[in-house]
Amino acid sequence: MMKGSSLIVSIVALIAVAVLYILYFSGKGESLGTVDKQAVRSATGSMKIAYVKADSVILNYELAQDLHDDFSKKQEAYNSEFGSKRQSFEKEAAAFQDKLQRGGFLTEQRAIQERDRLVGKEQEIMKLDQELSGKLAELQTSNNKQILDSLMNYLKSYNKNRQYDYIFNGAEVLIGDEAHNITSDVLKALNERYSGKSATE
């Protein structure tokens, strides 16, 4: 009676694209300079830029790792809850088919009642699948936003003293001077700040 694979399985795809999601939005993040600055600096040839390899930050940022661990635990719990109910339903459905083939129902009406009960249970399981998948998708989106907000807020603070006109997402830089790569400094500061917050909680 169940058709196709569980929607929860598709959540694996969300994890696979999580980094792409972050990179996309960090690439569209707010400019830390202004159009006027760009015009002036371009004319003088003294524009000050830097870049951060956002994918590296995501993979090594302790906040991102903790959020991923939490997500994985919830995903496992949801899969377990859904799997248990689906397995129970499939056993009942198989028993119904077997009983029907053996002519085990006293009346046709009784067989129809049991069939309708199983159809209702199947619909409940499908609804649960959609609900759990939706919760996981919302959690992943929330995690992505939290990581991006943390990165952007730090970069704004970081840039107050450095005064870069632009800080780019280095994942899109094919060739660039490593002197402009501030990924290591940013990652170190983010982890120190996060560890400090965690210790006080």
* Residues 144/18, Cβ–Cβ less than 8 Å: yes
pLDDT tens track for 28-58: 444 433 334 444 344 445 788 899 988 888 8
pLDDT tens track for 168-182: 887 777 777 888 899
Residue 167 in 3-state DSSP? Answer: strand
% of residues, the chain, pLDDT over 70: 75
Q: Which residues pair with 168 in a beta bridge?
A: 51
Angle, alpha carbons 55-58-62 (nearest 5°): 155
pLDDT tens track for 55-80: 888 899 999 999 999 999 999 999 99
Please name the amino acid found at residue 188.
K
Q: Is this prediction's pTM over 0.75? A: no
